[in-house]
A = this chain, B = another copy of it.
Amino acid sequence: MTPSPDLVNQECSDCPIRHRAVCARCEPDELTRLEEMKFYRSYQAGQTIAWAGDQMDFVASVVSGAATLSQTMEDGRRQMVGLLLPSDFVGRPGRSGASYDVVAVTDLVMCCFRKKPFERMMMTTPHVAERLLEMTLDELDAAREWMLVLGRKTAREKIASLMSIFAQRDAVLGPKHSRTVQFDLPLTREAMADYLGLTLETVSRQISALKREKVIVLQGKRSVLVPDIDVLMEQAGDDSDGGLLI
């Protein structure tokens, strides 16, 4: 609610998400137009960026950090419906209110565009709309993948699925093609529970079980070492080859 505008303006040309965000396909002159309408905002871990239904006068790309999208029922049950990582897009052009609660789970920097100018830009330059369509289709695939996790997987498979996602995404690969992977969990046990449709106790128990069986090794609460990614993916109930379509 109280963003701290403590970032100096940054050049798009050396932006870390330049080639993956909604601006990925833009030509230099289009980038200049975007550069004129953009501004940065920073949020602290735990800060709520918007509540579902709030007026949102901007759309944005995550530059660094992580945020969650979640829905809450009247009685407090909560389901996370999206995990936003660097280069992911927030907000829906053509809709004024936020559809979900948006919360920063780590310190976060977003590259924001006021909605009106951005919408005008979308009408006039196909490169932005094209890229946004592609990103939205990817999001839809991810959401459907997650429906399988929520609807049909056991608690253990759910945890292994989540760990696999982090492992494949944040992987700090030592030797290439290594099966060993290390990463830091960006979520608390409670946030994981909200993502997986479990209670935090069950999350904790299943993580302990995977640790006990050496599928993962914990260093502290947040740092995870995966000795063999294939073993982890097998525990997730996925095809051992990862099932990636390209």
A residues sitting closer than 8 Å to B (CB atoms) are: 53, 69, 71, 73-75, 77-79, 81-82, 92, 94-95, 97, 99-100, 126, 129-130, 132-134, 136-137, 139-141, 143-148, 150-152, 196-197, 237, 239, 245
Specify which chain B residues have a CB less than 8 angstroms from the CB of A126 in the assembled complex: 126, 129
For this complex, 15 residue pairs linking A to B, each with C-beta atoms less than 8 Å apart, are A69-B144, A73-B148, A73-B152, A74-B239, A79-B147, A79-B148, A79-B152, A92-B137, A99-B144, A139-B140, A140-B140, A143-B147, A146-B147, A147-B147, A151-B197
**Once bound together, how far apart are the Cα atoms of A137 and B90, in whole Å?**
12
Specify which chain B residues have a CB less than 8 angstroms from the CB of A143 in the assembled complex: 140, 143-144, 147
Other-chain contact of A237, B73, B133, B151 (Cβ < 8 Å):
B73
Specify which chain B residues have a CB less than 8 angstroms from the CB of A100 in the assembled complex: 144
Does the CB pair B129–A133 fall under 8 Å? yes
Q: Given the interface contacts A129-B130, A136-B133, does A152 sit within 8 Å of B197 by beta carbon?
A: yes
Specify which chain B residues have a CB less than 8 angstroms from the CB of A140 in the assembled complex: 136, 139-140, 143
Task: For the complex formed, measure the closest distance between the CB of A25 and the CB atoms of chain B, giving whole angstroms.
Answer: 12
Task: For the complex formed, measure the closest distance between the CB of A41 and the CB atoms of chain B, giving whole angstroms.
Answer: 23
Task: For the complex formed, measure the closest distance between the CB of A218 and the CB atoms of chain B, giving whole angstroms.
Answer: 25
